[in-house]
A = this chain, B = another copy of it.
Amino acid sequence: MEKRLIVDMDGVLADVYEQFIRYELEETGRKISLGETLGLSESEAFLNGRKHVRLKGFFRNAPVIPSAVEVLERLNQKYEVFIVSSATEFPNSLEEKYYWMEEHFPFVSWQQLVFCGSKAIVKGDFMIDDHFKNLDRFEGKTFLFTQPHNVGHSERSHHRVNSWIDIAGILL
């Protein structure tokens, strides 16, 4: 039986930092650099972020993280893949995330999508996520996907990966 692989969206498939920076620039005229955001939570780094994620298009137009498409397509042939995204906090994001997946990852079916509030409820063998709160409660093997907010924080019991190429090297 195929092992089950659980993959996060924001910060793993979708480049939300790029969006935060764009929206902040548009609102304040100031371009925040990734360097300034290292080690800070997203809400510390982007003071208007909580407002921006509620705007139409924020999730729908997020860029894809490099190599995510190519690597996930191959993982999808080897594992039972589920895309599990925290989305119910922002109801406007639900449809946007659905259509974003359909556009960029057409090989992932609707049966493989999970939009939730808490990831405590999912079970599987592997989880790739950029947030400790999701990884810490997972029973299987966990991969911490490097994003500015988790830089400088100890990996704890999670295996840190810096890119989709890293993931390919381990899981393919």
Name A's B-contacting residues (CB within 8 A): 4, 6, 82, 84, 87-89, 91-92, 94-95, 98-99, 109-118, 121-124
Contacts and interface: CB of A to CB of B under 8 A. Distances in A.
A172 B111 CA distance: 33
B95 A95 contact: yes
A110 B95 CA distance: 16
A82 B88 CA distance: 12
A112 B122 contact: no
Which 3 residue pairs across A and B have the least CB separation, nearest first? A111-B117, A94-B94, A88-B110
Given A94-B94, A95-B95, A122-B123, A88 B117 contact: no
A7 to B, nearest CB: 12
Contacts of A4: 121
B112 A117 contact: yes
A116 B88 CA distance: 12
Nearest to A82: B121
Max count, chain B CB within 10 A of own CB: residue among A4, A111, A116: A116
A101 to B, nearest CB: 9
Contact of A124 (B82, B92, B121): B121
A83 to B, nearest CB: 10
B123 A111 contact: no
Nearest to A117: B111
Nearest to A84: B121
Contacts of A114: 88, 114-117, 121
Given A94-B94, A94-B98, A99-B91, A111 B118 contact: yes
